[in-house]
Structure 1
Amino acid sequence: MPSEVPRTVKAVDTAQLLRLDAEAVQCGLSRTHGVAWLSEHVHGTATHYLWPALVHRLEHRPEYSPHWRCMLLLTVRDGTQIFSLLDVLPASFDQLPETLDAATKTKIAQKLMNGPLQTYAEWAEHDGT
Structure 2
Amino acid sequence: MESALPLPREVKAIDSASLIRLEARACDLGLSQRLDPTWVRANAASDGTHYLWPIMWHNLSHRRDVPRHVRWELLITLRTGNRVLSLLVVIPDDFTPLPKVTSREQGMQVRLLLDRAPSVREWLLREGEGPGRL
Count of matched residue positions in the alignment of Structure 1 and Structure 2: 127
Between the aligned partners of 1:54 and 1:21, the Cα distance in structure 2 is 18
Kindly indicate whether residue 98 of structure 2 is the aligned counterpart of residue 96 of structure 1.
yes
Over 3 Å counting, the alpha-carbon distance change for 1:89 and 1:62 in structure 2 is same
Q: TM-score, normalised by structure 1?
A: 0.89
Q: Is the 1:11–1:50 Cα contact (8 Å) retained in structure 2?
A: yes
- Following superposition of structure 1 onto structure 2, how do residues 36-115 of structure 1 map, counting pairs within 5 Å? 36-112=38-114, 115=115
1:8 is aligned to: 10
2:28 is aligned to: 26
- Cα displacement (A) at 1:99: 4.6
- Cα displacement (A) at 1:18: 0.3
Residue identity opposite 1:88 in structure 2: V
Query: Tell me, what secondary structure is at the counterpart of 2:116?
Result: coil
Kindly indicate whether residue 88 of structure 2 is the aligned counterpart of residue 122 of structure 1.
no
Between the aligned partners of 1:45 and 1:107, the Cα distance in structure 2 is 19
Query: Tell me, what secondary structure is at the counterpart of 2:40?
Result: helix
Between the aligned partners of 1:7 and 1:107, the Cα distance in structure 2 is 16
Query: Tell me, what secondary structure is at the counterpart of 1:30?
Result: coil
Q: TM-score, normalised by structure 2?
A: 0.86
Q: Is the 1:55–1:68 Cα contact (8 Å) retained in structure 2?
A: yes
Q: Is the 2:12–2:101 Cα contact (8 Å) retained in structure 1?
A: yes
Query: Tell me, what secondary structure is at the counterpart of 2:79?
Result: coil
Over 3 Å counting, the alpha-carbon distance change for 1:10 and 1:44 in structure 2 is same
Residue identity opposite 2:116 in structure 1: P
Query: Tell me, what secondary structure is at the counterpart of 2:99?
Result: coil
**How big is each residue's C-alpha offset from its partner over 1:59-95, in whole Å with a ceiling of 9 and x where there is no partner?**
2222323101000111112110111111111111101
Q: Which runs of 5+ in 2 are unaligned?
A: none
RMSD: 1.7
% identical equivalent positions: 35
